[in-house]
Amino acid sequence: MKLVPEPEIEGHNKIHYLSHHAVIQQGNETTEICIVYVASATSNGASLNECLHIGPKLNQQILEILLRFRFYRIALIAHIEKVFRMVSIDSKDRDVLRLIWYD
């Protein structure tokens, strides 16, 4: 993430600010508050989710996963954290993925 310079706050490109809210996870020792971004909110009849490119389906079918899960004696699971900041976003698309940050 980077701070948008003052002259670029109201740019000539399409600009969209992601709405977000906090989810409180009581009892969680590492992260009590999780910020959830809402890209399904509509503006002018379309949501950001509808406007972004939809790539190929990377998740496998649930039945295949369950069958393979039972195949081995030991199974591992994991939770993906902080993924949004690990995704590279093309510079021309960054103005539609802005968010408001308060210090």
Segment 7-48, tens digit of pLDDT: 777 766 678 788 888 888 888 777 788 888 888 888 778 888
The answer as to whether 26 is a domain residue is yes
The answer as to whether 1 is a domain residue is no
Q: How confident is the model at residue 82 (pLDDT cuts 50, 70, 90)?
A: low
C-alpha closest to that of 37 among 53, 51, 48: 48
Structural domain including 45 reads 6-97
pLDDT at 12: 67
Question: Tell me, what amino acid is at 89?
Answer: I
The answer as to whether 44 is a domain residue is yes
**Selected residue with higher pLDDT from 24 and 55:** 24
**Selected residue with higher pLDDT from 62 and 58:** 62
Q: How many domains does the chain have?
A: 1
The answer as to whether 102 is a domain residue is no
Threshold 0.85, pTM exceeds: no
Q: How confident is the model at residue 86 (pLDDT cuts 50, 70, 90)?
A: low
The answer as to whether 81 is a domain residue is yes
Tokens for 96, please give them.
């539609």
The answer as to whether 63 is a domain residue is yes
Tokens for 73, please give them.
């004696």
Distances (CA, A) of 28 to 20, 31, 61, 63, 84: 20, 6, 30, 31, 21
Which residues are CB-neighbours of 100 under 8 A, at least 6 positions away? 17
pLDDT at 83: 60
The answer as to whether 103 is a domain residue is no
d(CA 42, CA 49): 9
The answer as to whether 52 is a domain residue is yes
**What's the angle, vertex CA 25, arms to CA 76 and CA 62, rounded to 5?**
35
